[in-house]
Amino acid sequence: MVRFFVPSEELAREEVCLTGENAQHAKVLRLKPGEMVLLCDGEGHESVCEVVSTDGWLLCIRQRRDSQSEAAVKVSVYMALPKADKLEHVIQKATELGAYEIVTFPSARCVSRPDEKSLQKKLERWQKIAASAAEQSGRGRIPKVLVLGSFSEALSRAAQADKALMFYEHEEALTLKMALSGGEYHTVSLLTGPEGGLEEAEVARAREAGLQVCTLGRRILRCETAPLCALSAVMYDAGEF
């Protein structure tokens, strides 16, 4: 079923008119009266609607419900600021895989350190990438893309999850499978470093903050591969695949 993201207040009405890009998309799809479409507010709520008229793209809401495509476990991806457009790739794929949110932050070895003005422009683009990926993959929620001001803030926020995990290439004892075993969980945070990896002092600070430091195997993964690998493994463990 074709889906459109609309402001949450639209779902409170009995009739909705598609406008802007949504109206243009409906026109391209050549929707006809009587066809059913899905309106989503991007926060996990959706409405099944019938196309009443293509003149103004009038829809009538037939059923309201919670999104049926969202994961039961909320996984937050924390990725240190990478170079170039690597974060764009992670945002797109993490959204497709079901991430609840994508959070980026500075760390000691980050090469990319955009100023506030350029960061704001990047953030707007990143959120659009998440929205597009959510629509394409049939999500009912658009993951928020957040930028934190410090590594300490990232640790403090990530530590609040039921399973708070950091991945470090020099860890050998604790595997992701071991970290996920032993107890039910509903929220997970996955923290990975930049191209140059995390410093030992940062790993020590993560342990002090309450994060479990894990290995993703004997091979060293690129900074854009590690978070997607970990996210996929968590979703599999949670029964989403």
pTM for the model stands at 0.88
Multiple choice CATH, 3-66, 3.30.930.10, 2.40.240.20, 1.10.40.50, 3.30.70.2740: 2.40.240.20
User: Does domain 74-237 fall into CATH 3.40.1280.10?
Assistant: yes
| Structure-block tokens of residue 74 | 């909320």
Instruction: Please report the pLDDT score of residue 86 as a whole number.
Output: 95
Whole-number pLDDT of residue 117: 84
Q: What is the pLDDT, as a whole number, of residue 183?
A: 84
Boundaries of every domain in the chain: 3-66, 74-237
The pLDDT of residue 162 is: 97
181 near 135, Cβ under 8 Å?
A: no
CB 78 within 8 A of CB 158: yes
Q: Which residues of the chain have pLDDT under 50?
A: none
The token pair that represents 123 in the structure block: 């953030």
Task: Report residue 30 CA to chain centroid gap.
Answer: 30
Rounded Cα distance between 189 and 131, Å, is: 21
